[in-house]
Amino acid sequence: MNKQKPLQSDLKLAETLAAERRAARERRPSRAEAEEAVRTLIRWTGDDPDREGLAGTPERVARAYEEYFAGYHDDPVEILQRTFEEVEGYDEMVLLRDIRFESHCEHHMAPILGRAHIAYLPDHRVVGISKLARLVQVYAKRLQIQEKMTAQIANTIQQVLQPLGVAVVIEASHQCMTTRGVHKPGAALATSRMLGVFRENPATRREFLAMLRGGATFED
């Protein structure tokens, strides 16, 4: 199988990631400023941030935000840098299913709860499966929309590993529409990003979808 040509989106990915890292290095508000912002929101809701039950809330919220948005401090490309070439000629699909994640939507800062499924067709190099889960976590721990997160994961794998193809499917529930707004609990959004042979070869795509459903098929 011939190695695919670089995709236009991949050529722009390094520049995009560099811009994100530059933005992350810009001055951030201090912890005290963040806590004061929480106090302002509490007053805006109509409550008193100095009452006993809320006195420690600004500090707790700031700590929680450090965990929710820890992905801004990690480099997704660096996570995938260590690869393995001694794979005894293995050249079939690698699929990691059901990677659970928690994220927050950038429109309402409401939780997004879901699962990611990642597959790639190696071209001489593979990466530890924990790195794939870590990649999902890095992008999830940022303000997100699901469509962008799906593309970011696939594009980063394509850029770093340079496999013959990448497939990413994400299924998630968005609390910005289940607990507010239209109030539709139980609704879930599915997004996908197919690159290389997963986009170009229907048989490879069908094999991926069959394995995703739990009915792995192995074709000659």
Q: 126-180, pLDDT tens digit by residue?
A: 999 999 999 999 999 999 999 999 999 999 999 999 999 999 999 999 999 888 8
Show which of 68, 91, 124 is a domain's final residue. Answer: 68
Show which of 45, 68, 91 is a domain's final residue. Answer: 68
Residue 220 counted as domain residue: no
Identified catalytic residue from 108, 124, 171, 175: 108
Provide the CATH number for the domain around residue 58.
Answer: 1.10.286.10
- Are 94 and 193 part of one and the same domain? yes
104 is catalytic: no
Identified catalytic residue from 4, 137, 146, 152: 146
- Are 64 and 81 part of one and the same domain? no
176 is catalytic: yes
- Are 50 and 112 part of one and the same domain? no
73 is catalytic: no
CB contact set of 216 (below 8 Å; sequence gap of 6+):
210
Apex 204 CA angle, 199 and 210, nearest 5: 115
Residue 13 counted as domain residue: no
Provide the whole-model pTM.
0.84
CA proximity to 160, closest of 131, 199, 201:
131
Identified catalytic residue from 104, 144, 174, 207: 174
Residue 124: what pLDDT?
A: 82
- Are 133 and 81 part of one and the same domain? yes
Identified catalytic residue from 4, 35, 104, 105: 105
Task: Tell me which residue has tokens 């429109």.
Answer: 107
Contact 113, 102 (CB under 8 A): yes
Contact 94, 122 (CB under 8 A): yes
Q: Could you tell me the two tokens for 177?
A: 């529409």
- Are 58 and 101 part of one and the same domain? no
Residue 176 counted as domain residue: yes
Specify the number of domains making up the chain: 2
Cα-to-chain-centroid distance, residue 14: 17
Residue 219: what pLDDT?
A: 43
- Are 103 and 56 part of one and the same domain? no
Identified catalytic residue from 20, 102, 175, 176: 176
Mean pLDDT of the chain: 88
Identified catalytic residue from 106, 124, 171, 175: 106
In total, the chain counts a number of residues equal to: 220
Cα distances from 145 to residues 53, 64, 76, 193, in angstroms, run 33, 20, 17, 14
- Are 210 and 169 part of one and the same domain? yes
- Are 37 and 98 part of one and the same domain? no
- Are 177 and 95 part of one and the same domain? yes
pLDDT in tens, 12-37: 666 676 676 666 566 788 999 999 99
- Are 128 and 36 part of one and the same domain? no
Residue 2 counted as domain residue: no
- Are 59 and 94 part of one and the same domain? no
User: Quick check: 117 pLDDT over 50?
Assistant: yes
Q: Structural domain of residue 42, as residue ranges? A: 28-68
Apex 31 CA angle, 27 and 32, nearest 5: 115
Provide the CATH number for the domain around residue 174.
Answer: 3.30.1130.10
% of residues, the chain, pLDDT over 90: 71
- Are 120 and 174 part of one and the same domain? yes
Cα distances from 210 to residues 175, 199, 213, 216, in angstroms, run 29, 15, 5, 6
Q: Could you tell me the two tokens for 92?
A: 């079939």
